[in-house]
Amino acid sequence: MTDTANITRRVVLGAGLAVAATAGFGGFARAADSVKLGVCIPAATHGFTGGIVWWANEAKKELEKAHPNLKITIKTASGAPEQANQLQDLVTVTKIDSLVIFPFESAALTQPVAQAKKKGVYVTVVDRGLTDTSAQDAYIAGDNTAFGRIPAEYIAKKYNGKANIVALRGIPTTIDNERWDAFTAVTKQHPGIKILDAKYANWNRDDAFKVTQDYLTRFKDIDVIWAADDDMAFGVLKAIEQAKRTDIKEVFGGAGSKSMVKTILDNSNPLIQADVSYSPKFIYDAIKMTAEARLKGGTLPATHILPSALITRDNAKEYYFPDSPY
């Protein structure tokens, strides 16, 4: 059984135990006659969110077939204001009683989600946490601390604690902060590692290309670029190729996209040697866990974190899923 299969098995098993443990004060819970579950997620503006949208629709298809008294409504948004409006519609028009939300931004969505919770909606927040955790009932995410720590440890070990680094951050969110804090906590332990600059590139390939162009113009000696996302990493690679820079030794992305894992597996680009896992399938798991808990009248654990792992050529086969959309 693959690591991913093991992880999924642990998630589903954990959810079942949590439902049983928290089903009701008397040990019994009244199963819901029906559940109206709203799913609010970012639109497929890049590879990772494309995977999120695909897995969310897979969950809707499979769960509605398995549970005739479950109705799932999926909304995708291209920005925080649109997502806030969609959330209001789900509560007032669709009249959802449960919500799974992948916030477009943390701060901007905290109050809208809190308002939904005040109206009795059960809230599961996925990945990009809110700035006020009292606005949620449950939180499910990948291990963002490991997502930042693992590449920093890899770089420190491989380059003997000496490297000039430029970094690309994602969107201002709690998960980006967790990743950045974990990355810099490691690099601060190595005086020979210098972070020349770090800028937001919005987990977007084109934005990453532009940010990297700026870095390559300003800095003449770069050893490693931490792209912190596979889509951004491909934008970085394009900028390096266009600039014909040969000093850069490595680009480290993140999330374990199939194209990046295949690159590692085939050793087809010397700049790409490692990655860190962070699958968009967690939205499927979050929808499944929330729907099945609510149908039974139960709740989920307050927090559930899925582990991340270093991907190298030695174990890349375990993380390569050619049929996946991401």
- The average pLDDT across 210-227 equals 98
- pLDDT > 90: what percent of the chain? 80
Per domain, the residue ranges of the chain are: 3-142+279-307, 144-276
Which DSSP symbol is given to 127?
S
pLDDT in tens, 82-106: 999 999 999 999 999 999 999 998 8
Report the pLDDT value the prediction gives residue 280, as an integer from 0 to 100: 87
Instruction: Say yes or no to pLDDT of 24 above 90.
Output: no
CB-CB contact of 138 with 153 (8 Å): no
Spacing of C-alpha 131 from chain mean position: 17
* Mean pLDDT computed over 237-261: 96
- pLDDT at residue 48, as a whole number: 85
What 8-state DSSP symbol labels residue 45? S
Is the pLDDT at 311 greater than 90? The verdict is yes
More reliable by pLDDT, 121 or 44? 121
* pLDDT tier at 30, thresholds 50, 70, 90: low
pLDDT in tens, 193-209: 999 999 999 999 999 99
Beta strand extents in the chain (DSSP E only): 35-42, 70-77, 98-101, 122-126, 138-142, 163-169, 193-200, 224-226, 250-252, 275-276, 303-306, 310-311
Stretch 8-32: mean pLDDT: 43
Determine the pLDDT at residue 201: 97
- Mean pLDDT, the chain, rounded, equals 90
Task: Please give the residue that has the higher pLDDT: either 298 or 1.
Answer: 298
The Cα–Cα gap between 148 and 32 comes to 40
Amino acid 233: pLDDT: 97
As a CATH number, domain 3-142+279-307 is 3.40.50.2300
Give residue 325's pLDDT.
79
So what CATH class is 144-276? alpha beta
Q: Determine which of 18-27, 136-145, 229-238, 242-251 has the lowest per-residue pLDDT on average.
A: 18-27
- Determine the Cα–Cα distance for residues 141 and 9; give it in Å rounded to an integer: 16
**Would you place residue 14 in the very low, low, confident or very high pLDDT band (cuts 50, 70, 90)?**
very low
